[in-house]
Amino acid sequence: MNKIDLGYDTINLGHGSGGLMTRDLLDKIIFETFSNPYLDQKHDGSIIQMDGKMAISTDSFVVSPIFFKGGNIGDLAINGTVNDVAMCGAIPEFLSLAFIVEEGLAIGDFIKIVETIKETADKSGVKIITGDTKVVERGKGDKIFINTTGFGKVHPKADISAKKIKPGDKIIISGPIAQHGMAIMSQRDGLEFESSIESDTTNLNFLVSKLLDSFGDKIHLFRDPTRGGLASVLSEIASDIQMGVNIIESKLPIDDQVAAACEMLGLDPLFVANEGIFVSIVDPEIEAEIIELMQKDDKGKRAICIGEITEEHPNKVVMHSVIGGKRMVTPLLGEQLPRIC
């Protein structure tokens, strides 16, 4: 596909004009890559039949740089929205896809991103059924921004709601924290440093579906700790349920290299973004079983219980440190890592 000749090496304003250049771009790259019965109609939208409760989630992606270790803005855009739908207890099926492209983006880079999107959508089991492409003047964007909206039917056994959380519920995380954020920072202009850290971006929908198949309404909440990291998600949960959250520092999974990079940059890994892990808050009676099932899956093999819900210190997250003390984990103020996803 990289050998496609559009007559230009870069995207220019004509590709967003709605005329012949737009049609050329869509026909040779977009429609050819994502061909399916819905998109092949080339209509203003798609008509789908969905019965029962449906989850819908939308997200925009402005990550910089657009190519990074472990992925690019393309797989980030698909995995991010697929995972958001899955966190609702739903099975993602369809996506919309919209590009805002800056004039001057290399056609080869655009094609590489589109190809990654196709591969990632296929791995996630979702179809792209509608979309849009706009081009802005040079200097009015930053290479490429992407918006995706996901749709999926709610799993028949799911009953995901913060209202179901109760004291004693266990907090389980599916894998190591802070990998995505530190992968981005290692390649950010002005902050580059030698590192083999890769983004953890991946789809989590199949693992989530397995857990719902086995444990149903014993799972009270799913959340993915993306922007703001684990600390922000737990702080939001504590505030929403007006109960406390206890976490144990020694249980937090973090790779040594990631921890060292955080220390070097003066960043708290609890606040660093993740793109391939999720938090489950579950009935304590299934703690051991759900961890065992998660650990049988590559995307949950380092799953661990990191704490529990408590009636003490309502609305607050408290971390029990490795030296025996306690630390209040406050919500993130401002932006620690801009344009991380």
Neighbours of 191 (CB within 10 A): 11
* Segment 11-34 mean pLDDT: 93
Using CA of residue 278, residue 284, residue 289, residue 295, what is the dihedral sign? positive
Beta strands 317-320 and 244-248 are: parallel
189: pLDDT strictly greater than 70: no
Q: How confident is the model at residue 3 (pLDDT cuts 50, 70, 90)?
A: low
> Under DSSP, is residue 142 helix (H, G, I), strand (E, B) or coil?
coil
264 vs 228: CA distance, rounded Å: 19
pLDDT tens per residue across span 283-305: 999 999 999 999 999 999 999 99
Q: Report all structural domains of the chain as residue ranges with CATH numbers, in order of start.
A: 13-154 (3.30.1330.10), 162-329 (3.90.650.10)
d(CA 18, CA 24): 10
- Kindly tell me if the per-residue pLDDT of 11 is higher than 70: yes
Rounded Cα distance between 329 and 327, Å, is: 6
| SS3 track for 195-223 | CCCCCCCCCCHHHHHHHHHHHHHHEEEEE
**More confident: 37 or 335:** 37
- The overall average pLDDT reported for the chain is 94
Q: What's the half-sphere exposure (Cβ side, CA atoms, 13 Å) at 236?
A: 18
Say if residue 129's pLDDT is above 70: yes
pLDDT value at 106 more than 60:
yes
- The pLDDT, as a whole number, for residue 192 is 65
Res. 327 pLDDT band, cuts 50 70 90: very high
The secondary structure of residue 313, as a DSSP letter, is S
Structure tokens of 287?
A: 């703690």
109-118 per-position pLDDT tens digit? 999 999 999 9
Question: Phi, psi (5° rounding) for residue 248?
Answer: -115, 115
pLDDT > 90? residue 147 = yes
Q: Which residues are paired to 71 by β-bridges?
A: 68
Q: Report the alpha-carbon distance of residue 131 to residue 122 in Å, rounded.
A: 17
Q: Decide: helix, strand or coil at residue 4.
A: coil
Question: By mean pLDDT, which of 93-102, 282-291, 320-329 is the weakest?
Answer: 320-329
**Rounded-to-integer distance, Cα 143 and Cα 302, Å:** 36
